[in-house]
């Protein structure tokens, strides 16, 4: 019998999406094949402490993981190739074969922790440092996709210190360039945290201040009247594949945090209620954007299909999309015939394949 792979699932983090991460991690832990993997569960607290948790999966939701654990952290030293576990009277090392981050938002999908993974020399699931940072920053993503002639909503972005110094100038620019309603978003946050839909210019100030609490850069996008659809991409950059296209019938004014993770009240349609030719264009554009931005492993690419002329408009790319039981990314692949467990196996396999390819190119 083959030896089990030492796999660490990492969750939590210093992010506004800490709770979402706990839900994603619980779903992943429940669906990993324990015949194939020796699973280690590592939680990062809201104040940044790293803990090795040995209890049941239910402990993530209850908060027991914060108590039934020992301090442990990932070593940046590639000769350790794993964790340093702090124990009474000393410490020990624990070798790992692969890392599976179930992290969302700042320090989780913005390239920060991917940098540590890279230093550790351990293969990891998902995009590398550069593509994680690029896709997390909506202002940078917009700019690069514009250069590739991929259609997006009209937008502008600015630093919050610029707004603080000259709010009137920025507000005038927004009104001159964009039609209302607009969406005001922090450039670096996910799960719709800090996002506002603004119908009139006089409400801009409150929305910008809300976004500024999450990030030092704010993006303002013109609202698109149309269907919200999503496409999951899986694979290494050259062999990336698109899933079926799914559609969200949002129950709120837009598909917000509560819809995604708390209420689960949005209606999801898989496949989306769109023309097959439009679905094909979405799949092609999703793969094109994924490759161009250097993504690897996985990403969920979100689009609008305009009411008026059925045009495909790219909204954003998420390099560590939600993995909860109601999340679109796993649902789209499950609709295509993969089980949740098979999807996890595929992602872990891709991480090992990517690391092998990198080692060969440097060797």
319-336: pLDDT as tens digits:
999 998 789 999 999 999
DSSP code, position 260: I
Q: How confident is the model at residue 265 (pLDDT cuts 50, 70, 90)?
A: low
Token look-up 């839900």 returns 23
Binned at pLDDT 50, 70 and 90, residue 259 comes out as: low
φ, ψ dihedrals at 116, nearest 5°: -65, -45
Q: What is each CA distance from 2 to 35, 37, 302, in whole angstroms?
A: 9, 10, 39
pLDDT score of 188: 87
Q: Look at residue 82 and tell me whether its pLDDT is greater than 90.
A: yes
User: What's the pTM?
Assistant: 0.92
Q: Are 13 and 190 in contact (CB under 8 A)?
A: no
Mean pLDDT, residues 196-221 taken together: 95
Tell whether the model's pLDDT for residue 211 goes beyond 60.
Answer: yes
Question: Torsion angle, CA of 344/349/352/358, rounded to 10 degrees?
Answer: -120
pLDDT of residue 71: 97
Task: Please check the confidence at residue 256 and state whether its pLDDT lies above 70.
Answer: no
CB 64 within 8 A of CB 32: no
Q: What percentage of the chain has pLDDT greater than the value 90?
A: 86
Half-sphere exposure of 293 (CA within 13 A, CB side): 36
Interval 37-69: pLDDT, tens = 999 999 999 999 999 999 999 999 999 999 999
* Residue whose C-alpha is closest to residue 103's, from 28, 39, 53: 28
């Amino acid at each position: 019998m083959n030896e089990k792979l030492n796999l660490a699932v990492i969750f939590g983090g210093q992010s506004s999406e800490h709770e979402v991460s706990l839900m994603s991690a619980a779903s992943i832990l429940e669906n990993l094949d324990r015949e194939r993997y020796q699973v280690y569960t590592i939680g990062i607290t809201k104040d940044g402490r790293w803990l090795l948790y040995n209890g049941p999966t239910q402990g993530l939701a209850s908060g027991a993981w914060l108590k039934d654990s020992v301090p442990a952290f990932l070593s940046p030293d590639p000769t350790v190739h794993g964790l340093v576990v702090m124990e009474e009277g000393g410490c020990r090392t624990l070798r790992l074969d692969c890392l599976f981050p179930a992290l969302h938002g700042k320090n989780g999908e913005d390239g920060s922790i991917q940098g540590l993974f890279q230093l550790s020399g351990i293969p990891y699931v998902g995009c590398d440092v550069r593509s994680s940072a690029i896709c997390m920053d909506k202002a940078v993503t917009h700019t690069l996709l514009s250069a590739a002639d991929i259609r997006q909503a009209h937008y502008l972005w600015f630093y919050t210190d610029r707004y603080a110094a000259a709010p009137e100038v920025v507000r005038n620019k927004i009104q001159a360039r964009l039609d209302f309603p607009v969406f005001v978003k922090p450039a670096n946050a996910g799960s719709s945290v800090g996002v506002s839909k603004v119908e009139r210019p006089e409400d801009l100030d409150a929305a910008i201040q809300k976004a500024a609490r999450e990030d030092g850069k704010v993006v303002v996008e013109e609202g698109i009247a149309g269907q919200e659809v999503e496409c999951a991409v899986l694979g290494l950059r050259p062999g990336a594949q698109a899933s079926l296209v799914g559609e969200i019938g949002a129950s709120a004014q837009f598909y917000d945090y509560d819809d995604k993770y708390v209420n689960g009240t949005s209606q999801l349609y898989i496949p989306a209620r769109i023309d097959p030719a439009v679905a094909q264009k979405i799949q092609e554009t999703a793969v094109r954007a994924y490759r161009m931005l250097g993504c690897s492993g996985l990403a969920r690419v979100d689009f609008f299909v305009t009411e008026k002329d059925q045009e495909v408009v790219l909204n954003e790319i998420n390099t560590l999309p939600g993995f909860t039981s109601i999340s679109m990314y796993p649902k789209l692949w499950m609709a295509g015939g993969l089980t949740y467990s098979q999807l996890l196996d595929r992602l872990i396999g891709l991480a090992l394949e990517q690391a092998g390819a990198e080692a060969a190119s440097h060797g």
